[in-house]
Amino acid sequence: MGQLQTLEDLLNFLTRRFWVMLAVLVLGLALSATLAKTRPDSYEATAVIQAQGAQIGLEATNGGSAQMLQAIEQRLTTREALLAVIARQGLYADLPALSDEERTALLRASIRIEGVASAGNQAYGQPAQISAIIVTAHDQNAEKAARIANDLAQGVLDMAAAGQMARAQDTLAFYREEETRLSGQVAALDGDIAAYKQTN
């Protein structure tokens, strides 16, 4: 067949091939529907955490969003942390033959942690900061997916609280040391002043 040059040629082509195209369409739809029904269900749950002051358990000045996200993800996806999530949520109880390594690998593959960059302008040379962290979990059960996402989000919040407490304690210890040092210097100056007054 030559090239289609007019609208009439196109209509003739479609009319001649109508039943072939309809058969391919019906067969494709049937195969797609069958494949979709045979695939296991998959649900995705997302938890969003707003980062105030661009700090989530870490000093934002130590690096930008890439370093912060990497540190958070490393802490949340350690073997011990994942095993704790599996135990708390009762995951993979129907697969007793799996080892701990296989369970943690399955859970690690089903979660994703992403950051949302801050929209505000930052000073020149300063790393980009995060305004939110998105924790996503996949599972064949919608409720389990939601529980996993919420558990990991709570882990981020717990890390933030622990980090803020540690920073506050470090700052308090620094100021107490400074207070002790300055009190000693003031006492020494008072002694020097008293000695100067006695001699003069």
18-38 and 7-16 helices, crossing angle to 10°: 60
Q: pLDDT tens, 177-192?
A: 999 999 999 988 988 8
Task: Specify the length of the chain in residues.
Answer: 200
Entry pTM: 0.61
| H or E element in which residue 111 lies | strand 111-117
The pLDDT of residue 2: 60
Per-residue tens of pLDDT for the chain, all 200 residues: 567 778 888 888 888 889 999 999 999 999 999 988 888 888 999 999 887 654 444 444 445 555 767 788 888 889 999 999 999 988 888 888 889 999 999 999 999 988 887 766 666 666 667 778 899 999 988 899 999 999 999 988 887 777 778 888 889 999 999 999 999 999 889 888 888 888 87
Rounded Cα distance, 145 and 143, in Å: 5
Which residue, 150, 120, 124, is CA-closest to 135? 150
Q: Which two tokens stand for residue 17?
A: 């091939």
pLDDT digits (tens, 9 = 90+) for 162-180: 777 888 888 999 999 999 9
Give the CA distances from residue 145 to residues 60, 65, 111, 178, 185, in Å, rounded to whole numbers and listed in that order: 30, 26, 9, 50, 60
Quick one: pLDDT at residue 42? Answer: 84
Look at residues 63, 76, 87 and name the one whose alpha carbon lies nearest to residue 113.
Answer: 76
Of 135, 132, 162, nearest in space to 73 by CA = 135
pLDDT at 61: 44
